[in-house]
Amino acid sequence: MKNIKVGIIGGAGYTAGELIRLLINHPNAELDFVYSTSNAGNKISNIHQDLMGDLDMKFTDTVNANVDVLFLCLGHGNSVKFLSANTFSATTKIIDLGNDFRLEKDKVFTSIGLAQAKTFVYGLPELQRNAIKKANYIANPGCFATAIQLALLPLAEKDLLHNDVHINAVTGATGAGTSLSETSHFPWRDNNFSYYKPFTHQHLGEINQSVKQLQNGFTSEILFMPNRGNFSRGIFATVYTNFEGTLEEAKALFEVFYKDAKFTFVSDEVLHLKQVVNTNKCLIHLHKHNNKLLVTSIIDNLLKGASGQAIQNMNLMFGLEETTGLQLKATYF
């Protein structure tokens, strides 16, 4: 097939940087433009310095309305504003890495001058692969949401979530984006640990939505404690709830659920983050204690939690092998 012409909106952040890195090494993609009003005219490799020698392209403040696929790497709430102000070809597919279209109530986008409403499909391949293949518009899942859903969906599919679900998850500093803040400042973050948004994190909406998609009668609470870790990237999530079966039964249902998954794997060994950093993988480990099942789920927040999953969705939308351009080795040592 001909190369997929790609445009990126909001090109200066961490997720855009990882997206560019993946795309310039993707055998079926051609990077057409990277839009950033604050950096227009500057070399992309001056901002994303890991791309020095790999990419001789500048940021632009204009767009090509006829690209094959558009990635939106904008702050939450800004994708709607951008699409309201800019028109693209009816054949341009859109993958939004923000949270504007993830919830069922927000998935339809309409604006003045838009001939037809855009309906966004929630882009978690392990849950929605067939729908993604047919979609023109994708809402890429959140990073915490990806790790936590992949820990819960095999249980939801078998109608096994009948008690509260308790979650502790730690994310690296890149999860906060490139904007400076007290909690991303090195002297604060180094040798430190803290929680934020206890029980109210914005990803809870999409987590509950997907669980109820598989287990419509789910009425228990998902109690989520997000934490800031003193490392750069990765998410380490521990999820536990009541489970009356054996550990072997739990492993069997997870392995069946993920038997066709290209990037999600169940491990018999206890996990650590270096196994997934710089990859598009999610690794899962199960542990049983009395009547509690503990599920550990680990991902790279910038790849499987953002840009890698966006490329995975692009591959599905354009009929490519799902793993194309995503055969990445973990930075294990």
Residue 140 has pLDDT above 70, yes or no: yes
pLDDT higher than threshold 80 for residue 183: no
Alpha-carbon distance 321 to 316, whole Å? 7
pLDDT, tens digit, 9 for 90 and up, residues 79-104: 999 999 999 999 999 999 999 999 99
* 244-290 pLDDT, tens digit each: 999 999 999 999 999 999 999 999 999 999 999 999 999 999 999 99
pLDDT at 20 over 90: yes
Higher-pLDDT residue of 12 and 131 is 131
- pLDDT for position 178: 53
The region of weakest confidence among 110-119, 165-174, 227-236, 297-306 is 110-119
Answer yes or no: is pLDDT of 221 > 90. Answer: yes
SS3 sequence of the chain: CCCEEEEEECCCCHHHHHHHHHHCCCCCEEEEEEECCCCCCCEHHHHCHHHCCCCCCECECCCCCCCCEEEECCCCCHHHHHHHHCCCCCCCEEEECCCCCCCHHHCEECCCCCCCCEECEECCHHHHHHHHHHCCEEECCCHHHHHHHHHHHHHHHCCCCCCCEEEEEEECHHHHCCCCCHHHCHHHHCCCCEECCCCCCCCHHHHHHHHHHHCCCCCCCEEEEEEECCCCCCEEEEEEEECCCCHHHHHHHHHHHCCCCCCEEEECCCCCHHHCCCCCCEEEEEEEECCEEEEEEEECCCCCCCHHHHHHHHHHHCCCCCCCCCCCCCCCC
- pLDDT at position 303: 98
Q: What is the mean pLDDT of the chain?
A: 93
Q: pLDDT tens digits for 59-75?
A: 999 999 999 999 999 98
Residue 150 contacts residue 264 (beta carbons within 8 Å): yes
Q: Tell me which of 9, 143, 211, 286 is the catalytic residue.
A: 143
- Confirm whether 143 is a catalytic residue: yes
Residue 293 pLDDT > 80, yes or no? yes
Q: Using the predicted structure, report yes or no on whether residue 174 has a pLDDT greater than 80.
A: no
